[in-house]
Amino acid sequence: MEKLKNILVVGGTHGNEMTGISLLQYWANSDYLQRPGLNIDTLLANPQATQLGRRYVDYDLNRAFTKELLDKSNETRSEDIKRAREIAEIYSENGSKFWPDMVIDIHNSTANMGQTLIINNPHPITRSIVAHLAQEFPMVKILQEPILGDNNPYLASIGKLDLTVEIGPQPHGTLNADLFFSTEKLVQRVLDLIVQYNENKLPLASLETTYFEQSDAVDYPRNSKHELDAMIHPNLWGADYQALEKGAKVFVDFSGNAIQWKGETTWPCFIGEVAYLEKKIAFIKTDKKTALW
Ligand SMILES: [Zn+2]
């Protein structure tokens, strides 16, 4: 890839995730996001949901960027899917703005995610950027998601390179000042590293890096009516990215009986994320890996 020029910084993809929404508001009144050689645009992705203070209006916007849902020949009444189509068009190759070389999409999680950097497209430039950030920011964790191609539902997939930032724990609709400031620093540093890459000063595949490779999601135990039958066990609560070994307590039912983990060792994340209740996800399994990034 040539130099990175067009960078899109996104907040409010989910309308109740306040760190990104508030950072956009802060950056709108300043020239803090300017960098030599970069054309940086900001986007409040879901203004309608932000107005309502909700994750989305009628469909999760950050699950609406698959090829099928963006296809205008499929009629839709969904406000969020219409918005996804609008964003994808504006930021496409022939769109009114630009086709982003990189999209940085800022999210929050109620889970203890720290500053999780999620990448789908495992490009060496993005890998080097997140590897450097992991060395500089103690709260950074790297989450490599599977390559999804046309089925990629995430907003960041409209860019040539993608970087989704998940900041937590923060209850949705609230704003934690420490997380606000540390995320501001993190995004600024991403832009610095992009400039460094453009100046041929960012070595690729040079840092030994620990990352977490996403595998399956795990649902809560449910009764015959599909209602929750257990909760996250207190031992697991907040223990994102820590090894969960076979036999460890993972859920506890309403009578207080612990339920043990029967699978192989995994490093769960998004533990108890409130927005994933509707998606029937209690946590997401990962494998811990090390490589030169
Ligand atoms: Zn989100």
| 224 CA to centre of ligand 1 in angstroms | 30
Ligand 1 centroid–CA 172 distance in Å is 9
The confidence score (pLDDT) of residue 254 equals: 97
For ligand 1, the distance from its centroid to the CA atom of residue 158, given in whole angstroms, is 16
Cα(274)–Cα(89) distance, rounded to whole angstroms?
A: 31
Give the Å distance between the CA of 13 and the centre of ligand 1.
6
| 76 pLDDT higher than 80 | yes
Going from the Cα of 127 to the center of ligand 1, the distance in angstroms, rounded, reads 21
* Distance from C-alpha of 170 to C-alpha of 176, rounded to nearest angstrom: 7
Ranges of each domain in the chain: 6-206, 215-286
User: How far is it, in rounded angstroms, from Cα 95 to Cα 72?
Assistant: 15
Whether the pLDDT of residue 248 is over 90: the answer is yes
Q: What's the CA-to-centroid distance between 131 and ligand 1, angstroms?
A: 22
Asked if 238 and 269 touch (Cβ cutoff 8 Å), the reply is: no
For ligand 1, the distance from its centroid to the CA atom of residue 166, given in whole angstroms, is 7
Question: Architecture of domain 215-286 in CATH?
Answer: Single Sheet (2.20)
Residue 14 has pLDDT above 90, yes or no: yes
Average pLDDT, the chain: 97
Distance 194 CA to ligand 1 centre (A): 24
pLDDT at 29: 81
283-292 and 208-218 beta bridge pairing: antiparallel
User: What's residue 31's pLDDT?
Assistant: 85
Percent of the chain with pLDDT over 90: 97
**Contacts by 80-83 with C-beta closer than 8 Å and gap 24+?**
80/46, 80/49, 80/56, 83/45, 83/46, 83/48
Q: Residue 116 forms beta bridges with which residues?
A: 141, 166
In the predicted model, what is the mean pLDDT of residues 207-224? 97
Domain 6-206 has CATH 3.40.50.720: no
Question: How do residues 140-199 score in pLDDT, each as one tens digit?
Answer: 999 999 999 899 999 999 999 999 999 999 999 999 999 999 999 999 999 999 999 999
User: b/e for 220-233, b at 16 or more Cβ within 10 A?
Assistant: beeeeeeeeebbbb
